[in-house]
Amino acid sequence: MNEDSILGIETQDIADTRPILIVPYMWIGDFVRGHTVVRVLRKRWPSRPIDLLVTRLCAPLVDYMPGVRSGIVFDLPRGRLAPGQQRALAAELRSRNYATALVLPRTWKAALAPALAGIPERVGFLGEARFGLINTMRWDEKKLPRFIDKNAALALPDGAALPPEWPVPQLRVPSEDVARWRQANGLGSGPAIALGPGSVGESKRWTYYPEAARLFAERGFDVWVVGGPGEKALATEIVAAGGVRVRDLTGTDLRNGVLAMAAASVAISNDSGLMHIAAAIGTPTMGIFGPTSPYLWAPINGLAATMQQTASKLSCQPCQRTVCTMNDHRCMRDLPAGDVVDTAERVLAQISVR
């Protein structure tokens, strides 16, 4: 579908070159989904440069986001205001002469530096009573069902109807970068399954990645375990179960995870940042869902397969909890490894046919 028909809005003044700042959510998956906001703004104002505030963790993603001029790397501490750092960030923002700031998070802290910087137009939802910090207030957040709707609506004119489809997030990874990465890691050029066993919250973690890795290896596939340092112990367990065809590719650099997802034939992940990265790249992605709703949290890019247990109806599902407090985590334990591996093989077969 043509992007113009998706958005259903008019391109505005193409001579307007005033820069725009987006203050996104800084969780990896949410940051990726924020690229839809970039695409909506690019449709409205093709000539206005767009920058993103970004943490060091998420900074590599900016390099692969079309339509973004630059990322402003600045790590504000979680859980406290840090007024000195806010003032330093405000000085940096002031030097860039932004005309508009879209503040996606609803917190008081997220809106402070743009206000201190004197950015003339600061758009956001009411949130934590941010009167004065946000001077172009939106009031209808509760009417918007999904996270993507809440974010991308801020890039539309106030009161505009939501489009039937949003432009999907995109991450464009050059093929030569992928080839160099595979060579540097001694991974060859054959098909591989990327596993993303981590997530924010234990309840979103599927139980049977070690068994799935073993089954894939037995069927002749290379398997890569992808994630951050928090997944190192789990990666060790998965490698031990799967044998020599399974590689631990966890580490501290998110760029490594981006390149792994770009190089993989199929990505299998919990509801996590890596799932959104793989989908935005265009890698066929299988998302495993238990306590969270695919309608609310799956990538709008679409998934090659949405995996959920279907053996029995669980009254607690989806609970949206980070730790299971009911039914002994059955929403994840009742999805067998064989089902996931068989589905992955069907996805690979469909790719081969295409």
Quick check: is 51 in a domain? yes
Please report, for residues 178, 285, 296, the alpha-carbon distance to residue 145 in angstroms, rounded to integers and kept in the order given. Answer: 37, 24, 8
Question: Are both 126 and 193 inside the same structural domain?
Answer: no
Question: Are both 180 and 115 inside the same structural domain?
Answer: no
pLDDT of the residue at 313: 67
Q: Domain of residue 121: give its range.
A: 3-153
Quick check: is 108 in a domain? yes
pLDDT of the residue at 328: 56
Q: How far apart are CA 143 and CA 146, in angstroms?
A: 9
**Structural domain total, the chain:** 2
Question: Are both 110 and 257 inside the same structural domain?
Answer: no
Q: Please give the radius of gyration of the chain, using alpha carbons only, rounded to the nearest integer.
A: 21
Note the helical H segments in 185-231. 209-218
Question: Are both 331 and 296 inside the same structural domain?
Answer: yes
348 residue type, one letter: L
pLDDT of the residue at 2: 44
Query: Residue 246 belongs to what H/E stretch?
Result: strand 246-248
pLDDT of the residue at 78: 82
Note the helical H segments in the chain. 3-7, 28-33, 35-44, 59-62, 83-95, 108-116, 147-153, 175-184, 209-218, 232-242, 254-263, 273-281, 294-297, 330-333, 337-353
pTM metric for this prediction = 0.92
Quick check: is 278 in a domain? yes
Question: Are both 190 and 67 inside the same structural domain?
Answer: no
Question: Are both 187 and 328 inside the same structural domain?
Answer: yes
Question: Are both 212 and 314 inside the same structural domain?
Answer: yes
Question: Are both 79 and 185 inside the same structural domain?
Answer: no
3-state secondary structure of 303: coil
Sheet of 121-125: strand order equals: 70-73, 50-54, 20-23, 100-103, 121-125, 136-138
For 212, phi then psi, to 5°, come to -65, -40
Tokens 């073993």 found at: 214
Q: What tokens does 321 get?
A: 């909890």
Tokens 């951050």 found at: 228
Q: Can you state the angle between helices 254-263 and 273-281, rounded to 10 degrees? A: 50
CATH code, 76: 3.40.50.2000
Question: Are both 187 and 284 inside the same structural domain?
Answer: yes
Buried b (16+ CB within 10 A) or exposed e, 271-291: bbbbbbbbbbbebbbbbbbbb
* Cis bond upstream, residue 120 (ω within 30): no
Quick check: is 300 in a domain? yes
Quick check: is 168 in a domain? no
Question: Are both 129 and 194 inside the same structural domain?
Answer: no
Please report, for residues 62, 111, 125, 157, the alpha-carbon distance to residue 137 in angstroms, rounded to integers and kept in the order given. Answer: 27, 12, 6, 12
Question: Are both 243 and 105 inside the same structural domain?
Answer: no
Quick check: is 337 in a domain? yes
CB-based contact 38:68 (threshold 8 Å): yes
CB-based contact 341:219 (threshold 8 Å): yes
Quick check: is 159 in a domain? no
Give the count of beta carbons closer than 10 Å to the beta carbon of residue 129.
9
Give the count of beta carbons closer than 10 Å to the beta carbon of residue 56.
10
Quick check: is 164 in a domain? no
What is the block-wise mean pLDDT of the chain (354 residues), using blocks of 10 residues? 51 87 96 97 95 97 98 89 93 98 95 97 91 93 89 93 93 97 92 92 87 96 96 96 96 96 97 96 94 84 85 64 63 84 94 74
Question: Are both 141 and 103 inside the same structural domain?
Answer: yes
